[in-house]
Amino acid sequence: MPDTAYPFSHAGDCTAYVPVVFVPVAMQCCDGGYPMKVPHSIEADSATSSQAVIVGGNSEVPLSLEYLIEDGAASPAVKVTASFEGATSTWSDVDTAPGYHVKDALMSAKPGTKVTIDVTEAMARLRWCETICC
């Protein structure tokens, strides 16, 4: 592959050319496109206590959960349900301590997985990054 020179200016009226070599990237997908990570999230709280979404992309992803239990909550609960091709996986935390909690890599989801979060007397956010081709 030929070198390409780009002008590099510095103090004064002099201009120098710096050779640049372009090296092809080995990580290609989707008929020559390149992979890109796109962050996604869904949130639930007392006003909208249940939210559902479909995980997309082209590879399995870890799901991470953040949730907040307010002081004085009588019976807080947070539940995450993932359904894929007839199989269901559930994680829940009931009557947890007040405060902020994080569950990194709580579970994995393949593209096409329907994920639902349900909360009672809590707020929660589920996050993941999908790999797509551009």
Q: What percentage of residues in the chain have a pLDDT greater than 70?
A: 75
Least confident among 25-39, 80-94, 114-128: 25-39
Res 68 pLDDT > 70: yes
Report d(CA 69, CA 71) in Å as an integer. Answer: 7
- pLDDT-based confidence at residue 111 (cuts at 50, 70, 90): very high
**125: which residues sit within 8 A by CB, 6+ positions away?**
41, 42, 43, 65, 66, 67
pLDDT of residue 19: 64
The answer to whether residue 13 scores a pLDDT higher than 70 is: no
pLDDT given for residue 30 in this prediction: 61
Kindly list the domain boundaries of the chain, sorted by start residue. Answer: 35-133
The CATH classification of domain 35-133, taken from the options 1.20.1050.10, 2.60.120.340, 2.60.40.1930, 1.10.3720.10: 2.60.120.340
Mean pLDDT of 5-28: 53
* pLDDT at 8 exceeding the cut of 60: no
Query: Residue 94 and residue 120: Cα distance in Å, rounded?
Result: 9
Region 107-126 average pLDDT: 95
**Of 49, 42, 46, the residue nearest 64 (C-alpha):** 42
Side-by-side strand order, sheet with 77-84: 50-54, 114-120, 77-84, 87-94
Short-list 105, 91, 45, 52, CA closest to 69: 45
Contact 5/19 with Cβ under 8 angstroms? yes
Q: Is the pTM of this model over 0.95?
A: no
The predicted pLDDT at position 33 comes to: 75
